[in-house]
Structure 1
């Protein structure tokens, strides 16, 4: 497959030329979403070639019974699947009796896809010669409205070029869809009612088991040479409804079908009102019209870009990469609903099934804090607080007690729904990422209120888990943690993963500090939380003992913390000495061979050095970076961004730049050869971190925003904005200097390269 067919452009993702081999990859790359729903870039018209059909509704899922392990103690019984939702984009097109299908056309030319990220619009255009020799020219525009987020819009313009033809449009809804990713080929949807009237149609359906009730709807109109054409028929079957429009066309005449569609969901409306709400939405958008709604779309995206854009001068591929990442993050989650979260594939595919991983806390929260406001990040933390009881249940199933909480690896509703034992039971570092996010949120926003209101209970549950998960080794006279998996999933069921042990120690100490702080500053909340959790001073003393005597594997020979016990027993062959034909190893090697190798899927020790950098010197970082980087294969999307930030901190800008390019263009250039399965949404926040925290050196130190700006040789300049405690700061970096501009009413003091700089409102400061 051609991996570099996406054309470089500052604001657009562009594909030119029709290649059937690229269709599934492009369906991922050109995906669109608006936070409430999303869809892969499937063709509206019939396509009989290789395709991965996908439309998704936020928060709607199915508990697909697992194929392994559910009969064993503690195993989740299901894996939550993001559901392929009923299809509303479909338009069957007949041209003089032959169905339009790019897989069977005699010729397809001037094929182009363009995803305009500035405006949030996806356009596809082509010319084709049909099986019966009719030459046509087609331009299709599609977007999912940010303003009215239950609605999407399609404009399908078709011109006949060489002969007279009868053109028939049949826009349809189809609820007889299946998931690409299904364990038992279950039927996920039950259709309960189909209706149509006045060029509109509605399918009421609910998910099996979870009973999410939905109405999929559409309204369509046809114009020929500017005049409206009446619909002629409607067809219904058990899971399908279509409308029908016909038009006789002479050569060089144009017909346009406008289709509005989408979903109303019982998560947001009463069950019995779903069809009526859908009718109201269709009336609203029909009155606005396609062009009017498109104008609102452009304005909504302009407001998002005003705050979140990163401008790079002199490097078009780097510019395209970061904007693609920022665009997809905003398409996936906009912070409007605290019951939603950020799935690793967003609305672009079905892999990883569940809605929420530790990615949200470790990678996404910094992006949303700095480019939105503290309310959005607070909603992400509230999501975890709302699931605390389920986390306690999850831990109880594994034999933990006394309110110990283990947050799930994968979840939709707080229940664990991941079923690979070495991850479900052992990748427990996810608990630490949630605690760290609470710390990170307060550090950045200055909003302490979350901790007494909600966060303290979460921290207590997590600390209880760590206290029970360790055991005292008589041999070492230290507390050890056995049978875990770190972020590096190429090491399973290891003892004393350094990162996990360090997180556990940090979490306990952080919880004890917050208990004192809440006790002294928020006595009412303290009394409520201690009463609810039945926490005692004696229990806290036991925690403290564990934190003080935690064991960390260390190599005197190399002067580094070891990723886990026994790491040096491996044959330490570096990645550079691996034949390229054997990469990626996760597609070329057996798991047995991977687990015995020294190769690191993603940073373990370096992830800890990123989270807790104030605990280690620059010399410590350099020693550990130089030891672990040569063994890292970066076959996790979450890996290159951490290495980019660390390389930048070490002043190794060429290396930092290469890691940045890899993380920013991971999907555009398909580094891991899997983009057709969907995009890597959560790691895209790491791309933002690579620039702002890596190259910009942004940190919060002693309650002040601090910068140590650097610039890659490949760039002329770059700029970004951050919202720090309701003060917006614009940073512009060139090789000569850095300028700072405060957009706001109150002055703010920052640190640049360790020196104090006072920013005054709307005054440009050059450093």
Structure 2
């Protein structure tokens, strides 16, 4: 249950497994491609990526308008360090089922290591045992390691490449994948210095440099009876290692990029010097130590189902591999596992991924928030481009901070991203009560983003309205009073007012300095408070639900009965305007707001809303099933909650959306884990504290997880009983089944039965 295993060599599975078996450390990621003979494998997306590293490409419009972005960030494939050729007595090893026996691949979640092995039968009938290992170091983020180990009664040759001829993948038929601009890097220099080889490249437009250095180590049974040579070729360096009977080639690759360093060569050499005496196995030991700490805090243990346990741990591990660990980077929609969405960061971070890390990895959560603070200047500039007089408008999709969405109805119009980001900072405050962090970074983001609601909202008949926006549901665009947007704005403005007064009391001098810096006055904050209190949340009296927006319930309902399976997802087959005219959802909108802000509606209203919107949701988005599962638990629809949970938890492992090849769905990976914690366990965090309302689906025996809250660690164990154990910190209050308890050691109560 700590390993993802496969013995599948089928062509149709290959691309999916490149994503599933990807390795990374939050800085560098490499898809799980085969090292050997890539030119002989037609069905491959062979990529390595650096988080936060980008070039810019033009956005072209036949008809443009003011404020439309003209360029966008794009994450390049970086130089290829994984490709090798293996020759046995001069015969190239080719991945053909007819010549391979005992094929096996495993992703070890405790070691942070991908291993692969098989027995290869040459055309002459001789057998070779070939094994591979690769790892991206968590302890030394710039280091990526490979190992090829071969036993064969004959001559063995491995040719390893450091290749600069890299191009991004594109697909003109799928808007979720980039189209064109596949060449983003050009070669500056290839060089050889003794046992080290170097490749220096630069992004074509942004002129950001990147360097890769490889150190090779060769061992064999006959110590010293091998050869190793490096050869400069047109766009790559070929390193050839030869021996007989046994040959092990290890590659220690170091990556440095210009977004983080101004002296790439010098820093690479410093890292090389620091780790030159660390063997592959030494780095694995460091990896295990890092991961042991991670799993001790973040593991979600499932009782009674190995299949789900494997999936949950796989998801947690892949999130850790892709999440940025400095203020330059974040976590993109596909992480570091593929090229879908061009490496862009979305609202997925704050609403799906960040909540998971808030619970158990506060430092990682803080880094994700600091990224948003880091790009605040660009968000303020974007607000000006949009015609706003003040405030910050965060981009819908970005890497460097600029808006990269060319389709504004489903991009820039999603102003709710401002509230989503503020929500993330507020949640951090609820978890840690860290006023110092709020004053140093969070408050400025919260105030500047809150200003936008005063810019785009207006008063009408005593209520505050927000017009011409798009909510999370991208099958409905440019509407008035989207419930999700208005509810999140209400919460955002409430907290802007609250923090204004709390930070005044905490450190008046420093807070006054911040207010002076951003020209924030008490009158402006009072406007925020009034707008929050009077925010218009559309409610339909006849149906007893919160309407998705002013006009949504007036539209005709989509003709689901006559929509054939091959027409889904609708966005790939039907014009957006046609979709916009109907009641049809791509993903939860009002239902998502009920999850995040459940105090804004009573339970019966939430249940009626769930019943109504679920029937007209296509789940064309990977962000959908996990939320419907969580809210099914909240509404008491326990069988449905489990069904949605299973849909989400196996989404990538079973390629349910037929696009896992383009990378793993990071928001869904996190959302599936939230399905246990926020769904089955009913965990919530609010101003009043933390609470749980746990159930156990009939298909499971129970579950266990940990929470870090106000300097304390709690273990929540739900099976026949509900056990809450204080692992560290002072006694604290937790609400269980609407009753308050003080946890000083361990408490046990009867679990609610279904």
Which position in structure 2 is the counterpart of 1:381?
Answer: 369
Match among 357, 381, 386 for residue 398 of structure 1: 386
Which position in structure 2 is the counterpart of 1:196?
Answer: 192
Residue 361 of structure 1 pairs with residue 354 of structure 2: no
Match among 381, 386, 401 for residue 414 of structure 1: 401
Residue 454 of structure 1 pairs with residue 438 of structure 2: no
Match among 145, 151, 163 for residue 159 of structure 1: 151
Which position in structure 1 is the counterpart of 2:55?
Answer: 62
Which position in structure 1 is the counterpart of 2:296?
Answer: 306
Q: Is the 8 A contact 2:218 2:248 kept in 1?
A: yes
Q: Is the 8 A contact 1:98 1:132 kept in 2?
A: no
Partners of 1:360 and 1:573 lie apart in 2 by 31
State the shift of 1:580 in Å. Answer: 3.9
Q: Secondary structure at the match of 2:217?
A: strand
Which position in structure 2 is the counterpart of 1:147?
Answer: 139
Match among 427, 430, 438 for residue 443 of structure 1: 430
Distance 1:315 1:597, change over 3 A: farther
Match among 656, 667, 671 for residue 682 of structure 1: 667
Which position in structure 2 is the counterpart of 1:706?
Answer: 691
Which position in structure 2 is the counterpart of 1:75?
Answer: 68
State the shift of 1:502 in Å. Answer: 2.4
Which position in structure 1 is the counterpart of 2:174?
Answer: none
Partners of 1:415 and 1:726 lie apart in 2 by 36
Partners of 1:129 and 1:15 lie apart in 2 by 20
Q: Is the 8 A contact 1:575 1:633 kept in 2?
A: no
Residue 224 of structure 1 pairs with residue 208 of structure 2: no
Unaligned runs of 5+ in 1: 1-9
Residue 124 of structure 1 pairs with residue 116 of structure 2: yes
* More deviation, 140-149/569-578: 569-578
Residue 247 of structure 1 pairs with residue 232 of structure 2: no
Q: Is the 8 A contact 2:168 2:183 kept in 1?
A: no
* More deviation, 231-240/52-61: 231-240
Residues 673-729 of structure 1 show CA distances to partners (whole Å, capped at 9, x for unaligned) of 110000011332222221112111222345433222111111112111111122111
Partners of 1:671 and 1:751 lie apart in 2 by 37
Partners of 1:599 and 1:581 lie apart in 2 by 17
Q: Is the 8 A contact 1:221 1:229 kept in 2?
A: no
Which position in structure 2 is the counterpart of 1:99?
Answer: 92
Match among 589, 594, 600 for residue 579 of structure 2: 594
Match among 424, 430, 439 for residue 417 of structure 2: 430
Q: Secondary structure at the match of 1:488?
A: coil
Q: Secondary structure at the match of 2:341?
A: coil
Residues 39-59 of structure 1 show CA distances to partners (whole Å, capped at 9, x for unaligned) of 100111122221001101122
Partners of 1:70 and 1:621 lie apart in 2 by 42
Residues 408-466 of structure 1 show CA distances to partners (whole Å, capped at 9, x for unaligned) of 11122222122112133311111111122222121222223333333332222222211
* More deviation, 514-523/135-144: 514-523
Partners of 2:368 and 2:13 lie apart in 1 by 35
Which position in structure 2 is the counterpart of 1:21?
Answer: 12
Partners of 2:83 and 2:552 lie apart in 1 by 54
State the shift of 1:387 in Å. Answer: 2.1
Residues 362-382 of structure 1 show CA distances to partners (whole Å, capped at 9, x for unaligned) of 122221121112x43233222
Q: Is the 8 A contact 1:107 1:129 kept in 2?
A: yes
Q: Secondary structure at the match of 1:352?
A: helix
Which position in structure 1 is the counterpart of 2:625?
Answer: 640
State the shift of 1:750 in Å. Answer: 2.2
- RMSD of the alignment, in Å? 2.5
State the shift of 1:296 in Å. Answer: 2.2
State the shift of 1:211 in Å. Answer: 2.6
Partners of 1:300 and 1:520 lie apart in 2 by 40
* More deviation, 623-632/379-388: 379-388
Partners of 2:636 and 2:425 lie apart in 1 by 30
State the shift of 1:62 in Å. Answer: 0.8
Q: Is the 8 A contact 1:166 1:248 kept in 2?
A: yes
Q: After superposition, where does 1:176-325 map in structure 2 within 5 Å?
A: 176-181=165-170, 184-185=180-181, 187-225=183-221, 227-249=223-245, 254-271=246-263, 274-282=264-272, 284-325=274-315
* More deviation, 131-140/608-617: 131-140
Q: Secondary structure at the match of 1:353?
A: helix
State the shift of 1:764 in Å. Answer: 6.3
Q: After superposition, where does 1:489-638 map in structure 2 within 5 Å?
A: 489-544=474-529, 546-572=531-557, 579-638=564-623
Q: Secondary structure at the match of 1:409?
A: coil
Q: Is the 8 A contact 2:209 2:258 kept in 1?
A: yes
* More deviation, 589-598/29-38: 589-598
Partners of 2:270 and 2:455 lie apart in 1 by 55
Residues 457-502 of structure 1 show CA distances to partners (whole Å, capped at 9, x for unaligned) of 22222222111212455xx665433322110001122232221122
Partners of 1:728 and 1:635 lie apart in 2 by 37
State the shift of 1:282 in Å. Answer: 4.2
Distance 1:106 1:133, change over 3 A: farther
Partners of 2:747 and 2:225 lie apart in 1 by 58
Residues 566-604 of structure 1 show CA distances to partners (whole Å, capped at 9, x for unaligned) of 223333358688554543333444434433332211111
Residues 719-750 of structure 1 show CA distances to partners (whole Å, capped at 9, x for unaligned) of 1111112211111111x211122112533332
Q: Is the 8 A contact 1:199 1:243 kept in 2?
A: no
Partners of 1:372 and 1:106 lie apart in 2 by 47
Residues 295-339 of structure 1 show CA distances to partners (whole Å, capped at 9, x for unaligned) of 22222212211111111121122111211110011111264x122
* More deviation, 307-316/275-284: 275-284
Q: Secondary structure at the match of 2:422?
A: helix
Q: Secondary structure at the match of 1:430?
A: helix
Give the length in aligned residue pairs: 741
Partners of 2:238 and 2:280 lie apart in 1 by 21
Q: Is the 8 A contact 1:575 1:632 kept in 2?
A: no
Match among 444, 462, 469 for residue 456 of structure 2: 469
Which position in structure 2 is the counterpart of 1:5?
Answer: none
State the shift of 1:225 in Å. Answer: 2.1
Distance 1:334 1:585, change over 3 A: closer
Distance 1:262 1:134, change over 3 A: farther
Distance 1:86 1:321, change over 3 A: same
Match among 103, 113, 116 for residue 105 of structure 2: 113
Match among 692, 701, 724 for residue 716 of structure 1: 701
State the shift of 1:751 in Å. Answer: 2.3
Partners of 1:691 and 1:746 lie apart in 2 by 26
Partners of 1:357 and 1:202 lie apart in 2 by 34
Distance 1:431 1:106, change over 3 A: same
Partners of 2:490 and 2:730 lie apart in 1 by 39
Q: Is the 8 A contact 1:67 1:183 kept in 2?
A: no
* More deviation, 482-491/533-542: 533-542
